[in-house]
Chains A and B, each alone.
Chain A
Amino acid sequence: MGMMSGKLGILKKILTSLPRQSKPSLITTVWSQDSPSQLKNYSLQNPRLVLFSFQNLKFLTLFDFDSHIVLISSFICFADMARNYVRFLALILAISICCEAAIFRPISESHRSAALDLFKPIDGSFSSLEETYEALRTFEVLGIGNKLDISASTCPSVVEVLGSSSSNLKTLFYALRNQRILKCALKEEILKGVSSKLKAAVNSASALPDFYHSIGGLVLIKDQTPEANVLLDDAEGVFRSIKALSQSDGRWRYGSNNPESSTYAAGMAFEALAGVISLAPSEIEQAVVATVKNDVVKLFDSIEKYDDGSLYFDEKIVNGHEHQGPIFVTSSVIRGVTAFAAVASGSLKLPGDDMLGLAKFFLGIGIPGNTKDLFNQGFHAIDSIPSSNCPFIDSERPAQGVSVSSVLGYNTPPLTVTLVQASSSSSKSASIIENQELKFDHDSSFHVLDALPKSVDIGKYLFTFEVVLNDSENEKVYATGGKTQVPIFITGVVKIDSPEIAILDSDLGSIETQKKLDLAGENSVTLSANHLQKLRLSFQLSTPSGKAFKPHQAIIKLRHESNVEHVFLVGNSGKQFEIILDFLGLVEKFYYLSGGYDIQLTVGDAVMENSLLKALGHIELDLPEPPEKAARPPAQPVDPYSRYGPKAEISHIFRTPEKRPPQELSLGFLGLILVPFIGFLVGLLTLGVNLKNFPSSAVPAIFAALFHLGIGAVLLLYVLFWLKLDLFMTLKALGLLGIFLIFVGQRILSHLASTSAKLKSGDLMTDFDPAG
C-alpha cells in the first residue's frame, strides 16, 4: 500500500502540475476535451481509471469497466530516479491505447459546449414550452442545469398555461414537465383543476397522443404533489384501450382510425402504460401486463443493426414528411421501455447485448447538432438509468455516471477488472500476460496493473479485459458486455545506429566515396555518380530492448530538379537496413534525367517515437543521353501561385518620326530665299511708284480702288486656299469675287476707254500712258 500511495502521489503530481507542464513530451496523450484540471475531478469521482505500472514507469489510463471501453487518456511519467540513467537507453515506453474501428466516446465536455451552443434562449426564454423543457432537461442531464436561468421568464407562462382552461393536452403536459424542473410557485387549486381536467381527458381519449399526454401529466402531478388525487378509477379499462391499439409485431397505432403502425408510437404507448400502472389504485391484472411485456420483446425483434454493432430502432415505412429519424424513434422506445420496466411487477428480460448496442448507437452519434437530437440523446441516457430493473447501465459515460450517483444516489457496484490476455497483435504467438486481476484502489478509484513483464517490447498489442461484478445481484441491473479487446500501442524510442551513405563502383564493388550520416542532426552530403556506379544507404534499427525493429515506413526518395520523384523501400535483414541503387538498371526509370537529385530518408512507425524525415543531401547524377524511344518524364503539376500571377506589362513601340533638319536651319534658308524678294521690294520702293494715271475723279477712283482691292482679295484667297480652305470654299469665294471684279473691272475699263477716246478725239492723245 505504501508503494501504491507513492504512485498515487506521483500521479496526483502529474495531474496537478499539468497546466504548467513544461515538458509536454513526457505526456504522450492528453485528455481531449477537458482541461487537465477537470480531468482531475473526473478521476477522483470515477472508478474508471486504470494505472499500469511498469518498473519505474507509471501509466495511467482512464478506463471503463464496462465492455466497449472508452479509454480516455493515458499518461506517462518516469520517476525521478529513473530519469537519470534511463534517458538514452530508450527505455521510455509509453502506452497509448486504441479502440477498435468504432470508437464510442462518453458524454463529455464537448456535449456540454454543444448544448450551450444549441440551446440559446432568445431574450431569456425559448419559443415554446416544449423547447424550454428540452433545454432544461438536457442541461440537467449534462449536469449544467445551473447555467440556464430562465425560471423568471418561463414560470409566468407555465402558470398561465396551467391556469387556463383552454390549454390543450400537449401544452399542459409540457407545462407540467417544466414545472417539475423549475418548481415555480403554484397554487394547489390550479394543480387540482389540471388533474381533474387530465382525468376527464384520459377517460374520453381515443388517440394515443391524448393518452400519452394526459397520463404523463397525471404522473407528473403525482410526483410533485403526492397528496393530489390523481389515481385513475378505471385504470384497467384505460390500460386495455391503450393496449387495443397495439399491433402484432410490437408496434403501435396512433389511433383506432389510423391504420399505420409506428415504432415511435410504441415507445409512447409503453410510457403511457407505465403511467397507468403507477396511477392505478389497485394492481393491474398480471396477464394483461404480461402481454405488454411480450410486445416489448417482439418490438426488440425488429431492432436494426449497424456494422459496428450498434443497434437502433427506425420506422419501417418512411414517409417523407413524417420520418423522424432513428434517434428520435430509438429514444422514444428506450424511454417507454425503461419507464414500463420500472413500474411493471416482475422483471422484464431483455438481452444485455441489445442494451449495449443501443448505448453504442447513442454514443456513436457523437455530438448531435440539433436540439432535438441532443435532447433525445441525453434524455435517453438519464431516463434509462434510474430504472433499476433495466439490465443496463451507461457506464460508457463517465460524466453520465457522476450525475447518476450524485442525483439519484446510485453507487457504482463493486466489480473486478481482469486483464485476461495481452498478446502482440503481429505475432500470434504466446501472450505476455494472462489472467491478471487489476487491483482496485479505493482512494483514487483506479484499477491498477502492478507490473508489466520485462519481456514487453515496443509494438502493437491486444489487451483483453474482462469485467466481473462482485455482487451477483447486480447482474440483474448492469450489463457488462463480457470480454473487451483493446489494441494498445507501446511506443518507444528506436535506436538508429551507424547510418552511412556510399557510392560504389559497379564492377568491383569497391567503395569510391563513403560518408557517415547523423540522423539526429542536419546532413548535407554532396555526392556524384554516373550510371556505372551504385548508391548504398545503410543503417541499423533496434528496439529499446535491443531487438530488431522493422518500421512500417522506411523509404528513400530521390527528387530531381524538375520535381520528378522516385521512391524506394529500404529492405532489412535483422537490424541491418540497406538499399543499393544500381543506376545502370535504373536509367530508364529515371528517364535519363541527369542533374541534381535530393535524397530524403523517411523512417516511421506507429510505435516509434522518433519517427524522422531527413534530407540527407544531394547527389549529382551523370546519366547517358536518352535514346529516341525513351519514355518522357511525366508532366508535373503547375504551381498554382505562379500560374495566376499578373502578366508583365506591354507598351506599344511607336514608329519613330522621320529625321528632319533642325528648325533653325530651315528658317535660316527661308531667310536667305526671301532676301532677293525683299531686295526687289526695296528696289521697287526706291524707284518710286507712278500713280499718275490713277483716275482722279471720285467715282472712277472708287471703282479703281475696289478693283485693286478685289485683285488683292483674290490673291488673299489663294493664300487662304494654301493655308486652310478647301477647293470648294475657295471656288465659291472666287466666284463671288469674280462677279464683283467683272463688274468693277468693266466700270474702270470703260472709264479708261472713254478717257482715251476723249484724248483721241481731242488733241493730247500722247498724254495718256496706261503703262504708267
Chain B
Amino acid sequence: MAKKLSIFIAISLVLSLCDAFNLDNPSSRRILVLLDDFAIKSSHSLFFNSLQSRGFDLDFKLADDPKNALQRYGQYLYDGLILFSPSVQRFGGSIDAAAILDFIDSGHDLILAADTSASDLIREIATECGVDYDEDQSSMVIDHTSYAVSETEGDHTLIAADDFIKSEVILGSKKIEAPVLFQGIGHSLNPANSLVLKVLSASPAAYSANPNSKLAQPPSLTGSSISLVSVLQARNNARVMISGSLSMFSNRFFRSSAQKAGSSTKHQKSGNEQFFTELSKWIFHERGHLKAVNVRHHKSGEVEEPGMYRINDDLEYSVEIFEWSGTSWEPYVANDVQVQFYMMSPYVLKTLSTDGKGLYSTAFKVPDVYGVFQFKVEYQRLGYTTLSLSKQIPVRPFRHNEYERFITAAFPYYGASFSM
C-alpha cells in the first residue's frame, strides 16, 4: 500500500513538473541546457549561476548526447530550453528542430545563442521564430563608430551596443548604463512576424560583413535594422530570446569593462550581466506575466451579477489583474487597461480606472441596441503576456410596461377623455 502511494506521489510529482508556466506553482522550474562543450558551463557560469540562484534547476547536456529528450510519455520534462550550442549539426536523442518548435508551441521558453559558426539547424530554428541570421556564414557585425574600446580587438567586431528597447518590463526598471558588449553575427526580423521584437539593435553605422575580406557587394544587413538580440512572445505567451553572440553571455564579457568608442566614460563592468539577468527574468516569466481574476459586472447600485441587461441600464464592470514577480503575484498597476462592450464590433470601449491594488473598474450605460454582447478585455502591451477575457451577456429591449406610462404631451387627451 505504501509502495502504491509512493508511486502515485512520484507520478503526480512528475506530472506537476512538466507543465508549462504553471499559475499555481510557477517556481521550481526545470531548464535543459544544451552545450557544444562542457567548458561553456564554466566559462558562462555567471549567467547560469544567476538562473540557479533564482531557483531554476538547470540540466546540462551535450547537444549531441544520444539520451537527450524534451518529453517522455507525452509529458514535457522541462519548462525551458537554453541552446548554447551554435555549431551543432544534429541534436542527439529525440530532439530536432520540429521538437523544439513543438516545445515552444506548447508554451515553453527558449534561449538561443548563435555565433559565427552557427549551423543550419540553429539558423532554421531561428528562422521559424521570425529571425533571419545573415546568410553569409563568415559575416560578423562590424561597427567603426561605436565599437568597444579594447586592448586586443582591433577589427571593430567587438561592439558596444546601447540601443535598447524602451520597455521596463523586458529590461527591468533600472536603466542599463553601461553598453552591452557584443561579438557575433547580426540578424534581421521578418517583417511578416509582428510578435518578434528587437531588444538590442546595432547603431546606424553598423553593417554585417566579413571583416577579413573586402566588400564585393553591398552588405545585406546595415544600420539599426540589424538586431543583435531579439525576443519573441508567441500567441501562447511562450517566450524566446535569440542572440547572435554566445560570447556575450560569457563570464569574460560579464566581467569585462566597457567603453564605447568616442565616449569618455569607461564603465568598470559592461552592461551584459544586468542585461541578461533582466532579460532572462522576462524570458522565464518572472516579469510581465499577468493574470486576471474576479471579473465582475453588475447594475450600478446592486451587487448581484444579472443574467441579462436591459438597454440603457447603468452597469459597473471590474476585474483584478496581478503580475507574477518571480515569487508572488503582485498587483499590476497601469492606466491603459480597456474593456470593450462588444457585439460584432465594440459598442463601448472604455479605459478602466485602477485603485493601485490591482482592481480595475469602470461604469457605463448599456447601449440602446439589443443582442448578445460580450465584455472583452484584450490587453496587449509591449512585453506583457496577452490578457484575453471575454464574458457573454445578453441585452434585451424594454418590456411593454417599462416604457414611460404618462407622457406630458398627452395630458390634454387624458383630460379630454376624463372630462367627457
Instruction: Give chain A's interface residues, CB within 8 Å of chain B.
Output: 24, 28-33, 70-74, 96-99, 103, 105, 110, 113-114, 325-327, 364-370, 373, 460, 487-489, 550, 552-553, 555, 557, 565, 567-569, 600, 602, 604-606, 608, 611-613, 634-638, 640-641, 643-652, 654-655, 660-661, 663, 666-667, 669-670, 672-674, 676-677, 723-724
Chain B residues lying within 8 Å of A550, measured Cβ to Cβ, are 214
Instruction: Write the nearest CB–CB distance from B159 to chain A, whole angstroms.
Output: 13
Instruction: Write the nearest CB–CB distance from B71 to chain A, whole angstroms.
Output: 20
What per-residue 1/0 map shows which CB atoms of B137-165 lie under 8 Å from chain A?
00000111100011111111000000001
CA–CA, A488 and B368, complex, Å? 79
Which listed residue, B152, B219, B349, B419, touches A677 by the CB 8 Å rule? B419
Contact in complex: B215, A652 (CB < 8 Å): no
Which listed residue, B149, B194, B254, B418, touches A638 by the CB 8 Å rule? B194
Contact in complex: B419, A365 (CB < 8 Å): no
Contact in complex: B214, A96 (CB < 8 Å): no
Contact in complex: A641, B166 (CB < 8 Å): yes
What per-residue 1/0 map shows which CB atoms of B225-264 lie under 8 Å from chain A?
1000000000000000000000000111011110100001
Interface size on B, residues (CB 8 A): 85
Which listed residue, B46, B205, B222, touches A369 by the CB 8 Å rule? B46
Which listed residue, B151, B264, B380, B407, touches A31 by the CB 8 Å rule? B151
Contact in complex: B151, A72 (CB < 8 Å): yes
Contact in complex: A670, B46 (CB < 8 Å): no
- B76 CB within 8 Å of chain A: no
Chain B residues lying within 8 Å of A370, measured Cβ to Cβ, are 42, 45, 49
Contact in complex: A366, B189 (CB < 8 Å): no
Which listed residue, A368, A635, A644, A666, touches B409 by the CB 8 Å rule? A666
Contact in complex: A652, B408 (CB < 8 Å): no
Instruction: Write the nearest CB–CB distance from B367 to chain A, whole angstroms.
Output: 4
Contact in complex: A636, B412 (CB < 8 Å): no
Contact A32 to B256, CB < 8 A, known contacts A611-B144, A667-B408: yes
Contact in complex: A368, B43 (CB < 8 Å): yes
Chain A residues lying within 8 Å of B122, measured Cβ to Cβ, are none
Contact in complex: B154, A489 (CB < 8 Å): yes
What per-residue 1/0 map shows which CB atoms of B329-355 lie under 8 Å from chain A?
000000010101100001111110000
Contact A673 to B419, CB < 8 A, known contacts A644-B380, A650-B348: yes
Contact in complex: A98, B155 (CB < 8 Å): yes
Across the two chains, which residue of chain B brings its CB closest to A426? B214
Chain B residues lying within 8 Å of A676, measured Cβ to Cβ, are 419
The 5 A-B residue pairs with the shortest CB-CB distance, nearest first, are A369-B45, A604-B144, A677-B419, A611-B144, A489-B154
Q: Which of B150, B203, B255 has the most CB of A within 10 A?
A: B255
Contact in complex: B151, A113 (CB < 8 Å): no
- B416 CB within 8 Å of chain A: yes
Instruction: Write the nearest CB–CB distance from B337 to chain A, whole angstroms.
Output: 8
Contact in complex: A366, B251 (CB < 8 Å): yes
Across the two chains, which residue of chain B brings its CB closest to A105? B252
Across the two chains, which residue of chain B brings its CB closest to A644? B382
Contact in complex: A71, B152 (CB < 8 Å): yes
Contact in complex: B255, A114 (CB < 8 Å): yes
Contact in complex: B194, A643 (CB < 8 Å): yes
Instruction: Write the nearest CB–CB distance from A458 to chain B, whole angstroms.
Output: 12
- What are 26 of the A-B contact pairs (CB < 8 Å)? A31-B151, A33-B257, A72-B151, A73-B151, A114-B251, A327-B42, A365-B39, A369-B46, A369-B49, A552-B144, A552-B215, A553-B207, A553-B215, A568-B218, A606-B155, A608-B144, A611-B205, A636-B191, A643-B382, A646-B336, A647-B338, A649-B350, A654-B367, A666-B411, A670-B411, A673-B412
CA–CA, A542 and B145, complex, Å? 19
Which listed residue, A373, A643, A670, touches B45 by the CB 8 Å rule? A373
Contact in complex: A567, B218 (CB < 8 Å): yes
Contact in complex: B150, A32 (CB < 8 Å): yes
What per-residue 1/0 map shows which CB atoms of B376-419 lie under 8 Å from chain A?
00001110000000000000000000000101111110111011
What per-residue 1/0 map shows which CB atoms of B27-54 lie under 8 Å from chain A?
0000000000011011111101100000
- B6 CB within 8 Å of chain A: no
Contact in complex: A366, B49 (CB < 8 Å): no
CA–CA, A367 and B348, complex, Å? 59
